[in-house]
Structure 1
């Protein structure tokens, strides 16, 4: 019973995460949604927390950081952006 409840919570969290990946910019959607589906579960807990925190940032900042137009000053966010970009280049 505990495992079933735990599985339900994981699914709920994943649905929330997918919803947070839906952005106002299609350029971000095409990065975040596949990353969530294909990579997120393989990240360690710290990196998952960084990705969730990244999703709380404003779209213009995210776009500027990902495209290299601006430098992200937050070391943790910079790390998860590099993980995201490395995955996209594969």
Structure 2
């Protein structure tokens, strides 16, 4: 029995990889794609990230949106440490974005 080979290409605007719809790299993800990417292994993270997408994404500037997409690339345990204050990203801009997400501000 032969199984098809499936390649996993992570969605990331910063890496230049195409998204799951094959859109150009400078095209921002849709609200549906963002909500899907906010689904994590922890309900608390799901809620926090999705709330930021719904409340702040529409009014956020390009820089804030780019940093948010970087946050979505982080592993759940690391992201959880950041939002709970147990850790901090090395990148100051990313650390600022974590605060924006926690405070729900664009």
Class of the TM-score when normalised by the shorter of the 2 chains: 0.7 to 0.9
TM-score normalised according to structure 1 size: 0.79
Q: Is 1:23 the equivalent of 2:5? A: no
> How many angstroms does 1:25 deviate by?
0.8
> How many angstroms does 1:73 deviate by?
1.1
Moved segments of 4+, more than 6 Å: none
For 2:91 and 2:33, the matched residues in 1 are separated by 24
> How many angstroms does 1:62 deviate by?
0.3
Q: Is 1:85 the equivalent of 2:85? A: no
Question: Based on CA coordinates, which of the two structures has the bigger radius of gyration?
Answer: 2
Q: CA RMSD for the aligned pairs?
A: 1.7
- Structure 1: which 5+ runs fail to align? 1-8
**1:45-80 Cα deviation digits (max 9, x unpaired):** 110011011101000000001101112211121011
- Structure 2: which 5+ runs fail to align? 1-26
Tell me the residue number matched to 1:52.
Answer: 69
For 2:70 and 2:103, the matched residues in 1 are separated by 19
Higher helix share: 1
For 2:34 and 2:68, the matched residues in 1 are separated by 10
